[in-house]
Amino acid sequence: MTSAQWQRVRELFEAAVDAEPSDLRQWLRAESDDAEVRAEVESLLRHHSRAGSFLNAPVPESVPELLDEEDALAPGTVIGQYNVVRELGRGAMGRVYLATDSRLGRQVALKALAPHLTGETSHRERLKREARAAASLAHSGICTVYALEEIDGHLFIVSELIDGHTLREEITRDRLPRAEAILSTARELAEALASAHAKGITHRDFKPENVMRDRAGRLKVLDFGLARGSAALTPLSSSPAGALATLPGLLVGTPAYMSPEQLNGQPADARADVFALGIVLYEYACGVHPFEASTPLGLAARVLESHARPVAESCRHIPPNVAAIVDRCLKKLPAERFASAGEIVQALASAELAPAQPAHFQTMWRVHQLVSMALYVIASTIAWEIKEQFKSPLSLWTFVAIGIAATITGVSRGHLLFTWRMNRSRLTHEWQRVRPAVVVIDLLIAVGLAVDGISFAAIRPLWGMLTIAFAVGLGLSTTLLEPATTAAAFDERLER
Amino acid sequence: MTQNRDKGAPDVAELTPVVYRELRQIAAAYLRRERPGQTLQATALVHEAYLRLAVAGSPWRDERHFVGIAARSMRQILVDRARARGAQKRWAELDRVTLSASLAAATDPESMLPAVDEALTRLEQIDPEQAKIVELRYFVGLGIEEAAAALEMSPATLKRRWAMARAWLFRELSSGR
């Protein structure tokens, strides 16, 4: 069949599908005098009507296992001095096995780097360099690399075996962590990253899957620097532009934990790890990703374009100073973040002075606010009664002044209670803003009432004295009691 | 993009193996349930591969252009793997008498993959555009609209061409060749 004939077959097939002629043969004879074309159209239409659900379900959906990898090492396989016991899991870099080191008689984690990462010499060398750099890291929060082995052309990374679970498993649990757990997790992860950053080594693929908690409860960061080595995803040193690995555009890492600069294909440094740490801590504390979206592309768009909801709004139980640190880690501009994890460690060190205060101390603070508000009502009522007794301009103006002052300071305290309830991370800020005015106004009310009391004492000594006592009590409550309840409830952080 | 190409960024053909590997990796990550709450969808897979590979310096014009390249890789991945799992043997063992009925019922899509691949290669000689449509629809799972956008044609046209390609392939396979 010539290509002109095929064109005609296509036209006729499509026309027939649309028109659905009642007598196909007759319709075809009218349309074409080429018998070969007619026969082909007829045959295709016949098969069209019989094809049923042929090819209707896309392969990746009907047989998803076809997209799985092969090449696993069977238990019992001997690789150099290592005996494979069983597979522990799979990562982007390759499979990880539990193995026994027959020379040293200990159990190790054996990571077989996927062949496509190591196929090309220059990338292989680069990956080895990175792995060696990672092996130089010695920190209790980093999984120790024992050896880098090259056996039968395959690369293996032998490392400390960590018995435990990943941080991902903790995040997907239903229960959210307590404030103390958030603080200690933040501290351990920041310290681990900081020890690497201090040596100029960045992680590049920091995510909950790469953090494990061992049986003793200590966190260990895995796979340091390997993602950087895997810029070797690109076996193209023969290409005109030289190795594609040198192209700044190639993305490595997991999109959900990439910083805006990584997504934009710009060079990334320790501050990209800082960004990833911010996401991980956010997710750990709140159980949700700060840039949650239904597709990876949507998520990346949010990382690039929208700001994360402040972490304290997503979970109220996060310690305020950790919340401030997480929010700063998530800044779009690298320059606005911490320069390295070391700075986060320092920031967290000053968070140390904020051990969680017993909840009932905060209740006392709230009771103090409510009682103060009740005292303003009483003060206004007393001023009203005195004005009714004297009907003098002085008592009238005193009443008006006390009424206005009580309204202002009452609303201010109400505002603080509301902030405590709805937006606790702002409480320090709001307290510092409102506190001086509240003190001044409270003292004004006390003075006003004292003046009223003194004149009242002239006709009713007992009631006059009681009013003066009330005024003194109000003044002392603001100047002495309140700083004490606040300090007890918030460990003086509000007073700072 | 144009500037990058002038500087001699690697061309599409050279990058195809990279796309292939990337898709494999991401697919594997999905199957390991590393993407919480997401089931495997080839379309999402291709989007993610694009995201990871197609940034400054890459030779494809845009995501639609990339999807066309990725579709070829997806076909290769799926067919290679089906072959490795012995699909041809099962295909040969299928009952020739009821072959047409079992194809229409899509009872064993895996076993017919190598045969679909070979038939598709023949279709490519006759009508490359229809072959591309099959790659996008069947091997990536793009909808009518998305596939039409990737090939810059109207959805109505794409739907008609897809129908014909499907009929053609159905005839090739059910004739038992």
Tell me the two tokens of residue A459. Answer: 């006709």
Residue A258 · residue A300 · CB < 8 Å: yes
Does residue B17 sit at the A interface (CB-CB below 8 Å)?
yes
Chain B from 108 to 137: CB within 8 A of any A CB = 109-110, 113, 116, 126-127, 134, 137
Q: Which of A202-206, A322-326, B172-176 is the most confident on average?
A: A322-326
Q: How many CB atoms lie within 10 A of CB A417?
A: 15
DSSP letter string, A345-390 = HHHHHHHTT-PPPPHHHHHHHHHHHHHHHHHHHHHHHHHHHHHHHH
pLDDT at B5: 38
Q: What is the pLDDT of residues A42-76, one digit of tens each?
A: 999 999 999 888 998 888 778 877 776 556 677 78
∠ CA(A107), CA(A113), CA(A119), 5° rounding?
Answer: 150
Does residue B44 sit at the A interface (CB-CB below 8 Å)?
yes
Does residue B47 sit at the A interface (CB-CB below 8 Å)?
yes
Tell me the two tokens of residue B116. Answer: 């679909």
Q: What is the pLDDT of residues B114-133, one digit of tens each?
A: 999 999 999 999 999 999 99
pLDDT at A272: 93
Residue A82 · residue A108 · CB < 8 Å: yes
Q: Any idea where the domains of chain A sit in the sequence?
A: 3-53, 78-351, 359-490
Asked whether residue A112 carries a pLDDT value surpassing 90, the answer given is no
Tell me which chain B residues have a C-beta less than 8 angstroms from the C-beta of A89.
32
Where residue A381 falls among pLDDT bands split at 50, 70, 90? very high
The dihedrals phi and psi of B7, each to the nearest 5 degrees, come to -75, -5
Report the gap between the CA of A42 and the closest CA in chain B (Å): 11
Q: Distance between CA atoms of B121 and A424, rounded to whole angstroms?
A: 65
pLDDT at A42: 93
Angle between helices A24-31 and A3-19 (to 10 degrees): 140
Residue A203 · residue A196 · CB < 8 Å: yes
Tell me which chain A residues have a C-beta less than 8 angstroms from the C-beta of B10.
236, 239-241, 244
Report the gap between the CA of B175 and the closest CA in chain A (Å): 11
Report the gap between the CA of B2 and the closest CA in chain A (Å): 14
CATH number 3.30.1220.10 is the correct assignment for the domain at A78-351: no
User: Who wins on pLDDT, B1 or A106?
Assistant: A106
Contact A233 B174 (CB under 8 A): no
Contact B17 A69 (CB under 8 A): no
AA identity, residue A158 = V
Does residue A2 sit at the B interface (CB-CB below 8 Å)?
no
Asked whether residue A187 carries a pLDDT value surpassing 70, the answer given is yes
Report the gap between the CA of B125 and the closest CA in chain A (Å): 10
Tell me the two tokens of residue A79. Answer: 């690789």
Query: How distant, in Å, are the alpha carbons of A89, A185, A349, B132, B156 from that of A310?
Result: 34, 19, 22, 46, 47
Contact B9 A67 (CB under 8 A): no
Give the count of Cβ contacts less than 8 A between chain A and B.
200
Q: What is the pLDDT of residues A285-309, one digit of tens each?
A: 999 899 988 776 778 888 988 888 8
CATH number of the structural domain A359-490: 1.20.120
Tell me which chain A residues have a C-beta less than 8 angstroms from the C-beta of B140.
58, 60
Count how many residues are written for chain B: 177
Residue A452 · residue A392 · CB < 8 Å: no
pLDDT at A409: 93
Does residue B66 sit at the A interface (CB-CB below 8 Å)?
no
* Mean pLDDT, residues A12-26: 90
Q: Distance between CA atoms of A313 and A306, rounded to whole angstroms?
A: 16
Report the gap between the CA of A282 and the closest CA in chain B (Å): 16
Query: How distant, in Å, are the alpha carbons of A118, B21, B27 from that of B49?
Result: 20, 10, 10
Report the gap between the CA of A483 and the closest CA in chain B (Å): 47
Chain A from 281 to 320: CB within 8 A of any B CB = 295-297, 300
Q: Distance between CA atoms of A233 and A93, rounded to whole angstroms?
A: 10
Contact A265 B84 (CB under 8 A): no
Out of B48, B141, B164, the one facing A60 most closely (by C-beta) is: B141
Q: What is the pLDDT of residues B155-164, one digit of tens each?
A: 999 999 999 9
ipTM of predicted assembly, 2 dp: 0.81
Is A205 considered catalytic here?
Answer: yes
* Mean pLDDT, residues A6-22: 92
* Mean pLDDT, residues A4-22: 92
List, in sequence order, every residue forming a beta bridge with A107; answer none if it has no partner: A100
Of A265-274, A425-434, A461-470, the poorest mean pLDDT is in A425-434
Q: What stretches of A252-317 show up as alpha helix (H) in DSSP?
A: 260-263, 270-286, 296-305, 311-314
Does residue B22 sit at the A interface (CB-CB below 8 Å)?
yes
pLDDT at B57: 54
Best mutation target, B19, B23, B48, to test chain A (most A CBs within 10 A): B48
pLDDT at B7: 39
Name every residue whose Cβ is closer than 8 Å to that of residue A268 and which is 6 or more positions away in sequence: A202, A204, A259, A261, A262
Does residue B94 sit at the A interface (CB-CB below 8 Å)?
no
* Mean pLDDT, residues A220-234: 60
Name every residue whose Cβ is closer than 8 Å to that of residue A133 and which is 6 or more positions away in sequence: A199, A201, A225
Among candidates A245, A254, A227, which has minimal Cα distance to B18? Answer: A245
pTM of the model: 0.51
Report the gap between the CA of B100 and the closest CA in chain A (Å): 8
Asked whether residue A249 carries a pLDDT value surpassing 50, the answer given is no
Residue B31 · residue B80 · CB < 8 Å: no
Contact A48 B166 (CB under 8 A): yes
Judged by DSSP in three states, A344 sits in helix
Asked whether residue A418 carries a pLDDT value surpassing 80, the answer given is yes
pLDDT at B36: 45
Counting residues of chain A whose pLDDT is more than 90, the rounded percentage is 41
Asked whether residue B2 carries a pLDDT value surpassing 60, the answer given is no
Contact A55 B41 (CB under 8 A): no
Where residue A352 falls among pLDDT bands split at 50, 70, 90? low
Out of B7, B29, B81, the one facing A92 most closely (by C-beta) is: B29
Where residue A351 falls among pLDDT bands split at 50, 70, 90? low
Residue B114 · residue B83 · CB < 8 Å: yes
To the nearest 10°, report the CA torsion of A127, A133, A135, A139: -140
Contact B126 A6 (CB under 8 A): yes
Q: Distance between CA atoms of A179 and B116, rounded to whole angstroms?
A: 58
Among candidates A69, A62, A63, A284, which has minimal Cα distance to A167? Answer: A284
Among candidate residues A205, A223, A327, A442, the one labeled active-site is A205
* Mean pLDDT, residues A99-126: 80
Where residue A128 falls among pLDDT bands split at 50, 70, 90? confident
Out of B10, B29, B45, the one facing A244 most closely (by C-beta) is: B10
Out of B15, B28, B58, the one facing A68 most closely (by C-beta) is: B28
Report the gap between the CA of A4 and the closest CA in chain B (Å): 11
Out of B81, B137, B164, the one facing A14 most closely (by C-beta) is: B164
User: How high does pLDDT run on average in chain A?
Assistant: 83
Contact A251 B100 (CB under 8 A): no
pLDDT at A70: 54
Tell me which chain A residues have a C-beta less than 8 angstroms from the C-beta of B17.
235
Strands A78-79, A82-91: pairing kind: antiparallel
Q: Distance between CA atoms of A93 and A222, rounded to whole angstroms?
A: 12
Q: Distance between CA atoms of B103 and B90, rounded to whole angstroms?
A: 13
DSSP letter string, B90-129 = HHHHS-SSSHHHHHHTTS-HHHHHHHHHHHHHHHHHH-HH
Contact B15 A236 (CB under 8 A): yes
Q: Distance between CA atoms of B138 and A387, rounded to whole angstroms?
A: 89
Q: Cα B43 from chain centroid?
A: 10
Asked whether residue A217 carries a pLDDT value surpassing 60, the answer given is yes
Where residue A471 falls among pLDDT bands split at 50, 70, 90? very high
Best mutation target, A20, A66, A87, to test chain B (most B CBs within 10 A): A66
* Mean pLDDT, residues A248-270: 72
3-state SS of A416-485 is: HHHHHHHCHHHHHHHHHHHHHHHHHHHHHHHHHHHHHHHHHHHHCHHHHHHHHHHHHHHHHHHHHHHHHH
Dihedral sign, Cα of residue A132, residue A134, residue A139, residue A144: negative
Q: Distance between CA atoms of A425 and B141, rounded to whole angstroms?
A: 47
Contact A249 B56 (CB under 8 A): yes
Chain A from 414 to 473: CB within 8 A of any B CB = none
Contact A14 B160 (CB under 8 A): yes
AA identity, residue A241 = A
AA identity, residue A253 = G
Contact A55 B56 (CB under 8 A): no
